[in-house]
Amino acid sequence: MKRLWLVGVLLLAVLGFVLARHTGLFDITSGSSSEQQQTTAARPDTTDSAGENSASTGTSQSSTSEAEGSTATDSTSAGSSTSENSDATTDIAADHVAGQSTDGADVANADAAADAADEGVSPGEAVTKGTFEKGDTVSKVLENAGGQGVLQYVSAARQVFSMRSFREGQPYIVVTDKETGQVKRFEYEIDSRRRLVVEGTESPAARVEPIEYVVLLASVEGTINDNLFQAVADIGENPQMALKLADLFGSEVNFIRDLQSGDSFSVLVEKRYRDSEYKGYGRILAAHFTNKGKTYEAYLFRDGSQRAEYYNRKGENLRKTLLQAPLAFTRISSRFTNSRLHPILNYRRAHHGVDYAAPTGTPVKAVGDGLVTQRGWSGGYGNQIIVKHVAGLESMYAHLSGYARGLATGQRVRQGQVIGFVGSTGLATGPHLDFRLRQNGKFIDPTKAINPRGEPVARKAMAEFEKIMALETAYLKGEKNLSEYEVDSLVPDVPVTAPEKPVEKEKKKPAQKGRR
């Protein structure tokens, strides 16, 4: 009993001490706590440097050691002091991280401000850049960027540009107000030459304007060892150059069967830049292409208000009634014949066309200017297009996988315009184009068809043509400094119209006196 009584007394004493400690009667750590508070209050700005932050933290740890020394007999008090020190250290670290976050935000804000300045917007505006993805609409793009005033912008854009003409992969820019999300400007690149611009808040206005480039003149030359694409790549140029050459000389050279090792080319071409970034080729001003030892020449020239065209040295038009082939860089898999074993039907019959083997999706071009008279399914021909040309000529394109966007029966097309894509629809064993020509209802061999040239340079314009040709040749051969070139100095991109003659006032005829 005596032992139980002693244990009870000890428990009461411990309980009393704890209660006194919590009520503040015994504050044996007040000195260290005040020292801790002074240390925390006196620490330097921790956002200045990591070194200063470490020194401040060290001071806090020193205070904790003193507190532990003065309260060695009270483990509870020591634990309390250590906890306070830990909180102070955490505060310092938090301040340091906050400082770093602020610095990062400042950098991000500076970058955003720089982008805004580049786009010509004020600091209170946000810029959203992107490209149209599959399934995107103008409304969706604008809503994602801000969301305010979308309907007005769509309505304004529709007045000058079709809502169905927005294409996947084309870039856009949306400028919005940072606070309200109100759309203030929308830009969309229609193609490499034009862009749609809508701007305003209460009543947005839309327009289609030309895209401005810095245009530099360049001279490019190469030799074919394997194929034209490889020759272009070997000199560091874009594959688009090979396509441009094929389009330019497509009526003179058959790029499917005529190219051979040792052929060469030299090209005088405009290169376009925007914001110091290369944006592709402009116009070819002059070009020479040597095939099988024969050199073909092309010089761009605009005759007054006529569209600019390419002519050879004699002033003859490079554009012929028909292209040599409706697609480039493929092989002929079957020729025009009156008797061929059909690969599917397994009997012999006439094949009044030329088959070009090519991968599915290869673009197919109209061989001449004309009117689309058929676009649709045609039995064994599969998807087919028929184009009617001058002089009773018709061109036929069969087994297509699809048609160019917007192509319809009754529509006029230009020579070289993409109208469809290679496929294997109908009676076909693999992807290819079945190309045929009819004249006055009778099939003719496309490789032997008479192919007259377009109009030559007018006799009265020959002197001007020879002058322009001499300048283009000098640039091409390096006899004239390319840096001297100014856009439109040789061939205006816009037709030159003759000044209008003043309208002469009609002289009034004296009134005839009637007979009396």
- Indicate the residue among 383, 416, 444 that finishes a domain: 444
Domain extent at residue 159: 125-210
User: pLDDT for 372-423, tens place per residue?
Assistant: 999 999 988 999 999 999 878 899 999 999 999 889 999 999 988 999 999 9
Residue 297 phi, psi (nearest 5) = -120, 150
Residue 78 inside a domain? The answer is: no
Residues 336 and 485 in one domain: no
CA distance 318 to 308: 12
On whether residue 77 sits in a domain, the answer given is: no
Q: How many domains does the chain have?
A: 3
Token pair, residue 500, equals: 């209008």
Which of 444, 463, 479 is the last residue in one of the domains?
444
- Rounded CA-CA distance 310/178 in Å is 51
One domain, residues 373 and 394: yes
Backbone angles phi and psi of 81, in degrees to 5: -65, -40
In a domain, 294, yes or no: yes
Q: Is 400 exposed, middle or buried (0-12, 13-18, 19+ CB in 10 A)?
A: buried
Q: Is residue 276 assigned to a domain?
A: yes
- pLDDT, one tens digit per residue, over 81-100 is 344 444 433 343 334 333 44
CATH code of 191's domain: 3.10.450.350
Residue-wise pLDDT tens digits, 16-51? 766 655 555 444 443 433 333 333 333 334 333 333
Q: How does residue 263 score in pLDDT terms, banded at 50, 70 and 90? A: very high
Whether residue 274 sits in one domain with residue 249: yes
Instruction: Let me know: does 330 contact 357? Beta carbons within 8 Å.
Output: yes
Q: What is the mean pLDDT of residues 337-349?
A: 65
- Element containing residue 256 per DSSP (H, E): none
Say yes or no: 290 and 395 in one domain: no
Task: Yes or no: say if 385 and 420 are a contact pair by the CB < 8 Å rule.
Answer: yes
Q: Is the per-residue pLDDT at 201 higher than 70?
A: yes
Asked if 459 contacts 433 with a C-beta cutoff of 8 angstroms, the reply is no
pLDDT at 338: 64
C-alpha–C-alpha distance, residues 432 and 353, integer Å: 12
| Residues 335, 292 share a domain | no
pLDDT in tens, 464-483: 999 999 999 999 999 999 99
Does some domain include residue 97?
no
Burial of residue 48 (number of CB atoms within 10 Å: 0-12, 13-18, 19+): exposed
Average pLDDT over residues 310-318: 94
pLDDT band at residue 427 under the 50/70/90 scheme = confident
- 3-state SS record for 388-428: ECCCCEEEEEEEEEEECCCCCCCCEECCCCEEEEEECCCCC
396 and 409, same domain (yes or no): yes
Helices (H) and strands (E) in the chain, counts: 9, 22
Pair 420, 355 in one domain = yes
Written as six digits, the tokens of 53 are 């932050």
Same domain flag for 232 and 149? no
Q: Which of 293-302, 441-450, 492-501 has the lowest mean pLDDT?
A: 492-501
Strands 294-301 and 277-291: antiparallel
Q: Is the pLDDT of residue 106 over 60?
A: no
What average pLDDT does the structure give for the chain? 77
Residues 365 and 428 reside in one and the same domain:
yes
Q: Are residues 408 and 420 in the same domain?
A: yes
Domain membership of residue 315 (yes or no) is yes
Q: Which two tokens stand for residue 278?
A: 């290369």
Residues 200 and 222 in one domain: no
The reply to whether 489 falls in a domain is: yes
- Angle (CA) 420 425 426, round 5°: 125
Residue-wise pLDDT for 346-371, tens only, equals: 766 677 788 888 899 999 999 999 99
**Two tokens, residue 401:** 């996988």
Domain boundary among 168, 188, 210: 210
The CATH number of the domain where 438 resides is what? Answer: 2.70.70.10
Same domain, 171 and 192: yes
Lowest-pLDDT range of 75-79, 195-199, 303-307, 314-318:
75-79
Residue 481 domain flag:
yes
pLDDT for position 73: 37
Task: List the one residue out of 243, 248, 213 whose CA is nearest residue 227.
Answer: 243
CB-side neighbour CA atoms (13 Å) of 30:
6
Structure tokens at 253: 């050279």
What is the C-alpha radius of gyration for the chain, rounded to an integer number of angstroms? 40
